[in-house]
Structure 1
Amino acid sequence: MKKWMISIVAVGLIIALSACGTKPQASQPAANENTAGGAAGSSASSQEVKLIATNFAFDQKEYKVKKGQEVTFTLENKEGLHGIAINGLKVNLDNNKKSATVIVDKEGSYDIICSIPCGSGHMAMRAKLIVEA
């Protein structure tokens, strides 16, 4: 019984530690739209924020959006397996749900964190969402 439990714990630990060590996907040339109004022909009242995750970092330390507008958050994993949670906005993204649209109606600063334990640098994988008037 003890060997069985130790085997399960060992497999779980291996999965948790190797989550960020997965093979990176082939890179694709894409426009990097991390701030409001980057898409041509988009409505003035909607914004897109693309969060690109690599091993233990997001592509930006801060993302800025306008208060009172609809914002679509999209997650792209360039390296490893990551998820995001934006505290206070009920935004939770991962490989199963890669985008979410919310109306951000409160000014301030929101923490963006990696929501999937991805290895030794997981706790430092943070960014900020700044909501401006």
Structure 2
Amino acid sequence: MKKIMTMAAAAGMLLVFSACGAKPAATPEAAPAAASGSGQQVQLVATNYKFDKTEYKVKAGEEVTFSLQNKEGLHAVTINGLKVELSNQKKTATIKPDKPGSYDIICSQPCGPGHAMMTAKLIVE
């Protein structure tokens, strides 16, 4: 009897976990970037006190869609010199950077003790 109840509980838990898996939740995050059509796509994935990359590269004179995904913690992004600001209310922005150079990407939402170190670079080639 215990064996049957254990198997039933395990099957029930499997149903619960498969019904609320991570894949459906990730779809809305990816949709805005995909909906923008052609052009370069840069996804900034933010976790506590760091971005997923230290450097992102794009081509000058081409349209770029930036998107923000808060994977851990609550963050917002500013790209200094390019008028890009992303947050939970505005997760995507599309611009055409014309001037090659290096631009600072910073977390603009105070997120804890490592906030000041949460930076990356955008290289426009």
TM-score w.r.t. structure 1 length?
A: 0.67
The number of residue pairs the alignment matches comes to 95
Q: Which residue of 2 aligns with 1:97?
A: 90
Looking at structure 2, the residues matched to 128 and 92 of structure 1 have their Cα atoms a distance apart, in angstroms, of: 15
| Rg (Cα) greater in structure | 2
Q: Give the partner amino acid of 1:107.
A: P
Q: CA RMSD in A?
A: 1.7
Looking at structure 2, the residues matched to 28 and 105 of structure 1 have their Cα atoms a distance apart, in angstroms, of: 36
Q: Summarize deviations over 1:68-119 as a string: whole Å, max 9, x none.
A: 0000000000000000000000000000000000001000000000000000
Q: Give the partner amino acid of 2:77.
A: I
Q: Which residue of 2 aligns with 1:67?
A: 60
Alignment of 1:1-133 (within 5 A): 27-28=22-23, 43=38, 46-132=39-125
Q: Tell me the CA shift for residue 28 of structure 1.
A: 3.8
Question: Which SS does the other structure have where 2:116 is aligned?
Answer: helix
What 5-or-longer segments of structure 1 have no aligned partner?
Answer: 1-25, 31-38
What 5-or-longer segments of structure 2 have no aligned partner?
Answer: 1-20, 27-33
Looking at structure 2, the residues matched to 123 and 53 of structure 1 have their Cα atoms a distance apart, in angstroms, of: 14
Identity in percent = 66
The runs of 4+ residues in structure 1 deviating greater than 2 Å are: 26-30
* Larger helix share, 1 or 2: 2
Looking at structure 2, the residues matched to 127 and 111 of structure 1 have their Cα atoms a distance apart, in angstroms, of: 6
